[in-house]
Structure 1
Amino acid sequence: MHLDTFLLSLLLMLLLAKVLAQLCWRLGLPAVVGELSSGLILGPSLLGWVTPHPQLHNLAELGVVTLMFVIGCETSTKRLLNSGPRVLTVALSGVLVPALLIPPFVHWLLPTPPLEALFFGVALTATSIGIAMRVLRLNHQDKGVMGHTILGAAIIDDVLGVLLLGLMFSFSNGDMEPIGVLLQLVTIVLFLILAPIATRLLIYLLKPLTKQDMLPGFYASTVLLLICLFGWLAYLCGTPPLLGGFAAGLGISRHFTSPWSKWLVNPFPFTRKLEQASGPLNDVLAPLFFSYVGLSINLTQQSLTPTTMVIALVLTTLAVLTKLQCGLWLTGSRRQKLMVGSAMVPRGEVGLVFAEMGRQVNLLGDESFALLVLVITLTTIVGPVVLKWACTHPEPGEDTRGQSPPG
Structure 2
Amino acid sequence: MNPLLLAVETAGPAEAEVAANLSPLILVAVLMALVVIYLASRIAGEIAVRLSFPPVLGELLGGVMVGASVLGLLVFREGQVTGEELQTLAHSSTLMQFLQATAGLSEGSLTEVFSAQSEIIDILSEIGVIILLFEIGLESDLSELLRVGPQAAAVAVIGVAVPFLAGTLGLLYFFQVPVIPAVFAGAALTATSIGITARVLAELQKLTSPEGQVIIGAAVLDDVLGIIILAVVAGLAKNGEVNLTDIGIIIVSAIVFLVGSIVLGRLLSSYFVALLNSLKTRGNPLLPALVLAFVLAYVGQIIHLEAILGAFAAGLILAETDKRQELEEQIKPISDLLVPIFFVCVGAKTNLAVLNPAIPANREGLVIALFLIGVAILGKLAAGLGAFGKPGINRYAIGVGMIPRGEVGLVFAGVGAASGVLSDALDVSIIVMVIATTFVAPLWLRGVLVRAEAESKEEEIPSLRDLQADVAEQDRENSRANSDGIPADMAEVDQVGIPEG
Normalising to structure 1: TM-score of the pair? 0.88
1:261 maps to what in 2? none
SS of 1:382's equivalent in the other structure is helix
Alignment of 1:376 onto 2:434: yes
Aligned partner letter, 2:350: I
Q: Does 1:396 align with 2:450?
A: no
What aligned pairs does 1:71-110 form with structure 2 within 5 A after superposition? 71-107=136-172, 110=175
SS in structure 1 at match of 2:455:
coil
* Residue identity opposite 1:336 in structure 2: N
| 2:207 equivalent to 1:142 | yes
Aligned positions of 1:251-262 closer than 5 A: 251-253=317-319, 256=320
Q: Cα–Cα, structure 1 residues 209 and 338, in superposed 2: closer, same or farther, change >3 Å?
A: closer
Letter of the aligned partner of 1:105 in structure 2?
G
TM-superposed CA distance for 1:110, in Å, is: 4.9
Could you say which residue in structure 2 is the equivalent of 1:33?
A: 57
Aligned 8 A contact 1:122 1:165 in 2: yes
Greater shift after overlay, 49-58 or 348-357? 49-58
**What pairs with 1:187-206 in structure 2 (closer than 5 Å)?**
187-199=253-265, 201=268, 204-205=271-272
**Aligned equivalents of 1:132 and 1:108: distance in 2?**
33
Change (3 A) 1:212 1:291: closer
| Aligned partner of 2:75 among 51, 58, 61 | 51
Aligned with 2:315 (options 240, 244, 249): 249
| Residue number among 122, 126, 129 corresponding to 2:194 in the alignment | 129
**Structure 1 unaligned blocks of 5 or more:** 257-266, 401-407
Distance 2:326 2:372 in 1: 46
2:332 matches 1:275: no
Q: Give, in whole Å, the separation in 2 of the partners of 1:22 and 1:111.
A: 46
Contact 1:338/1:387, CA 8 A, preserved across alignment: no
Residue type of the alignment partner of 2:142: T
The 2-side partners of 1:349 and 1:318 are apart by: 19
Q: Is the 8 A contact 2:235 2:242 kept in 1?
A: yes
Deviations 1:178-224 (A, max 9, x none): 2321221111111112223455536624634534531x333332233
Root mean square deviation of aligned Cα: 2.5
1:166-315 matches, cutoff 5 A: 166-172=231-237, 173-199=239-265, 201=268, 204-205=271-272, 207-208=274-275, 210-214=277-281, 216-253=282-319, 256=320, 268=322, 270-301=323-354, 303-305=356-358, 308-315=365-372
Displacement of 1:384: 1.0
Q: 1:381 to 1:16 in 2, by over 3 A?
A: same
Larger helix proportion, structure 1 or 2?
2
2:365–2:425 Cα contact (<8 Å) kept: no
Aligned to 1:359: 417
- 1:341 matched to 2:408? The reply is no
Question: Does the 8 Å CA contact 1:44/1:300 hold for their aligned counterparts?
Answer: no
One-letter amino acid of the counterpart of residue 351, structure 2: N
Paired AA for residue 252 in structure 2 = V
Q: Which has the higher contact order (CA 8 A, sep 6+)?
A: 1
SS in 2 for 1:218: coil
C-alpha distance in 1 between matches for 2:404 and 2:340: 16
1:344-371 residue CA offsets vs partner (Å, 9 max, x unmatched): 1000000101111112122322321122
- The offset of 1:275, in angstroms, is 2.7
Which of 386, 393, 396 aligns to 2:444? It is 386
Equivalent-residue separation in structure 1 for 2:430 and 2:253 (angstroms): 30
Indicate if the aligned counterparts of 2:286 and 2:327 stay in contact, CA closer than 8 A: yes
CA distance in structure 1 between the aligned counterparts of 2:157 and 2:272, rounded to whole angstroms: 39
Give the CA deviation at 1:73. Answer: 1.0
Residue 469 of structure 2 is matched in structure 1 by none
- 1:219 maps to amino acid: P
Q: Are the counterparts in 2 of residues 222 and 274 from structure 1 also a CA contact under 8 Å?
A: no
Report the number of matched residues: 387
Aligned-partner Cα distance in 2 for 1:46–1:203: 52
Task: Give the aligned residue type for 1:337.
Answer: R
How many angstroms does 1:300 deviate by? 2.3
Q: Is the 8 A contact 2:125 2:341 kept in 1?
A: yes
Residue aligned with 1:2, SS: helix
1:58 deviates by 1.1
User: Residue 83 of structure 1: CA displacement?
Assistant: 0.8
For the pair 1:323 / 2:380, whether they are aligned, the reply is yes
Asked if the contact 1:335/1:390 (under 8 Å) is kept, the reply is no
TM-score normalised by structure 2 residue count: 0.72
- Give the deviation of 1:117 after TM superposition: 1.3
What is the deviation of 1:322?
1.3
Residue of structure 2 in register with 1:263 after alignment: none
Q: What does residue 36 of structure 2 align with?
A: 12
Per-residue CA distance 1:79-109 (angstroms, 9 max, x = gap): 1111122112211110000100012333456
In 1, are the aligned partners of 2:215 and 2:401 still within 8 Å (CA)?
A: yes
C-alpha contact (below 8 Å) 1:136/1:147 kept by paired residues:
yes
Q: Provide the secondary structure at the position in 2 that maps to 1:396.
A: helix
Tell me how far 1:383 sits from its aligned partner: 1.0
Q: Distance in 2 between matches of 1:291 and 1:212?
A: 37
Closer, same or farther: CA 28–88 of 1 in aligned 2, 3 Å: same
| Equivalent-residue separation in structure 2 for 1:334 and 1:44 (angstroms) | 45
Q: Which moved more, 1:275-284 or 1:30-39?
A: 275-284
* Aligned-residue offset at 1:50: 1.0
Compared CA separation, residues 4 and 340, structure 1 to 2 (3 A): same
Aligned partners of 1:31 and 1:341: how far apart in 2? 21
Pick closer, same or farther for the CA change 1:209–1:317 going to 2, 3 Å: closer
Task: Give the secondary-structure state (helix, strand or coil) at the position aligned to 2:327.
Answer: helix
* Alignment check: 8 A CA contact 2:152 2:387 kept: no
* Structure 2 portions without partners, runs of 5+: 1-24, 77-117, 460-501
Offset of 1:302 from its aligned partner?
Answer: 5.1
Q: 1:229 to 1:203 in 2, by over 3 A?
A: farther
Kindly indicate whether the alpha-carbon contact (under 8 Å) linking 2:366 and 2:432 is maintained by their aligned counterparts in 1: no
Q: Show CA shifts across 1:259-314 (max 9, x none).
A: xxxxxxxx51x443223211211122122111111112222255534654444333
Give the letter for the 1:231 counterpart. A
